[in-house]
Amino acid sequence: MAIKETFLQSVEAIEEHYNVGDFIFREGSTPQFYYQIVSGEVKLNRFAEDGKEFIQNIFTDKSSIGESMLILGKPYPTDAVALTPCVILKLGRNRFFQLLQEHREIFTDIYSTLANHTFEKQTLMRVITSENAEDRLIEIMELLKESYDNKDKFSIEIPHTRQQLASLTGLSIETAIRTIKKMEKKNIVMIKNRKIFY
C-alpha cells in the first residue's frame, strides 16, 4: 500500500526531514506535491474558532498524505503537522500524474487507498454524529485494528494519546479519559501502564 520508496527515489522524489511541530503543508495552500511518509507520524488537523482542535486523521509509515487534494487541485482543508520527527518523500505534481498514467499498479493503489479513506471517514462520521462517547471511541479503535492481521482481543496497542483520541472523536479530554476507564471496567479495553490495548 503506497509507492515503493526505491521507486520514488528513482524518479527524483525529494527527501524532506521535519521536526516535531513542523508543517508539511498548511490549510488553504495549493497542493504541489505528492507526499509519502517514510518514517514518523503526521496529523491532519484544524482548530475551531474557540481554539478547540479537531484531528481529521493521524498517519504513519508508508502512508501518503493529501493525495485527494493534489488530484483534485483543491486547496488543503487542513494543516499537516509532524507529531514526531519525520522523513517524507515528496514528488512534484506533474511527475506524480505522469506516474499515474504510466503505471497501472500505482494508479490502482492510490485508487484503493482513497476508497479506504472515504470508507473510514464515513464510518467515523456516522458514529460521531450519532453521539455517545463510548461508541465513538470504539469506532476509531476498530478502524485502527482493521489494518492489522491479529484481531484478537487486546492485540493492538492504541498508538495515540488520550488527548489525540479526544481530538479525533470530537470529545473533551476529560470525557475521553472517563469513558476509557468505563470501557476498561466493561472489559472492552485493557490498560497497562497508561497504554490502551484493544
State the nearest-atom distance from the C-beta of 181 to DNA, in Å: 6
C-alpha cell at 76: 488543503
How does 111-124 read in b/e, with b if 16+ C-beta sit within 10 Å?
A: eebeeeeeebeeeb
Residue 174 binds DNA, judged by CB under 7 A: yes
Distance CA 29, CA 162 (A): 30
180 binding DNA? (CB under 7 A): yes
Question: 43 CB contacts (<8 Å, ≥6 apart)?
Answer: 55, 56, 57, 58, 59, 80, 81, 83, 164
- As a whole number of angstroms, the distance between CA 5 and CA 52 comes to 36
Q: Per-residue string for binding with DNA, 24-63, x by CB under 7 A?
A: --------------------------x-x-----------
* Residue number with CB closer to DNA (90 or 160): 160
Q: Which stretch binds DNA (CB under 7 A): 37-45, 72-80, 105-113, 127-135?
A: 127-135
User: Is 162 one of the binding residues for DNA (CB under 7 A)?
Assistant: yes
Residues that bind DNA in the complex, under the rule CB under 7 A: 50, 52, 131-134, 161-163, 170-175, 177-181, 193-194
